[in-house]
Amino acid sequence: MTKPPNDPSLRSWIRVPKGSDFPIQNIPFGIASWNGEPPLPATRIGDTVVDLSILADMGLLDGTGIAREAFLASRLNDLMAFGKPAARALRERLSELFREENPTLRDDNELREDALLPADQVRMHIPVEVGDYTDFYSSREHATNVGTMFRDPANALLPNWLHLPVGYHGRASSLIPSGVPLHRPMGQTRPDPNAPPVFGPTKQLDFELEVGFLTFPGKPLGQRISTAEAADHIFGLVLFNDWSARDIQSWEYVPLGPFLAKNFASSMSTWVVTLDALEPFRTAGPAQDPTPLTYLRTQGHEAFDIALEVDIAPEGGAATTICRSNFKHLYWSMAQQLAHHTVNGCNVRCGDLMASGTISGPTPDSYGSMLELTWRGTKPIQLSNGEERKFINDGDTVTMRGHCEKDGLRIGFGEVEAKVLPALPFA
């Protein structure tokens, strides 16, 4: 019997360095370009990127249910449009082609020469064309910390928080891939509550440690996706840094929520790890009390054990790990987020992005933002070079990583990284 793609004993004829995020059991999907050629769908094994358009052109991906034209597109949407069964069949076919005992690609020197490239020679792009982007607020620890800082510590959670996944609609146009720098945003702040607001660069630039999921086509407008159906509509996950300007946000967010404080940039990792690849790492999420309303109830394990960490590297300096958290801490699961998003008949389209909200754990070193790690700037963090940080400085590079590990199998996301540049001059 053929071993399934998640079998820990599988080995590839492509070399996979020890500790790699991308063993043969992963098979993530992304959009890559090289030598000035147009961006095309790709996957990755170890430190090798594989051009899927070449494999499709040779007929090696026929029978998966995905048309060859989808492998010539500059985003994964065309591939994802064929749905979960086709994406699963594609992953299974690629798993077969890369196994150490399969000679089809392994022994075809010319085909290997054309289709395989070192990862450090390719440029990665945003993997999907995101039509709509929703940001949730699903970490109880994060919501409690923020409520404690800005409101009444005895009533840190607002009355609705334990009854529904709070979320808001973000800006899809300012999503950027890992490696692309961003300029410090500008806006109104009110440092003196007794004086008029002022305009200028944010002084409280922050990261938000998040994980996002990307959707297959949903149901027509007016229909809903249940928690039991949610997995069939989730293609895969990415690491996500939803940058935030805290001082701008604190002035502008009443009554409709953040605007300029959030819409200037959000960074996402470039390899989409499929939900199928993460199945071995399902785990129990936090106990939910009170019991959610019927449409939000789930069966089985809906959380995933994904270890997360955040580094800050100052200009020309070494990186310091300042946060270690885990995706499993989220109070509201992805299935609940998607069910709530669509319960009123809202239609979800292929390539929509749903971000988790800041992921904070139960201990101070697991808080997923500078706002919490430094407790609104009152407890600065010390970097390895002796410098202190209350928030993010110009020249700092923020890097987030995530991986799962169990029974000797490691599945990872790579990283999402961005450098902060000074604010652009205001004309």
Residue the block writes with tokens 């949903």: 218
Residues 6+ apart with CB under 8 A from 4: none
329 is catalytic: no
Instruction: Give the three-class secondary structure for 294.
Output: helix
Q: How far apart are CA 109 and CA 342, in angstroms?
A: 49
> Can you give 309-367 as a three-state secondary structure string?
EEEEECCCCCCEEEEEEEHHHCCCCHHHHHHHHHCCCCCCCCCCEEECCCCCCCCHHHC
How would DSSP label each residue in 176-239? Answer: EETT--EEPPEEEE-SSTTS--EEEE-S-EE-BEEEEEEE---PPTT----TTTGGGGEEEEEE
Instruction: Give the CA count within 13 Å in the CB-facing half-sphere of 108.
Output: 15
Candidates 125, 142, 233, 340; catalytic one:
142
Phi first, then psi: give them for residue 87, nearest 5 degrees: -65, -40
| Non-local CB neighbours of 151 within 8 Å, separated by 6+ positions | none
Distance in angstroms (rounded) separating the CA atoms of residues 95 and 5: 6
Compute CA distances 362 → 271, 314, 324, 366, 412, whole Å.
Answer: 28, 27, 11, 7, 23
- CA neighbours closer than 13 Å in the CB half-sphere of residue 348: 29
Backbone angles phi, psi at 9, to 5 degrees: -85, -10
In the block, residue with structure tokens 């652009």? 424
Region of residue 54 (left: phi > 0; alpha: psi -120 to 50; beta: else): alpha
State how far the Cα of 312 lies from the Cα of 421, in Å rounded to an integer. 14
Rounded-to-10 torsion of CA 32, 417, 172, 119: 10
Active site residues: 142
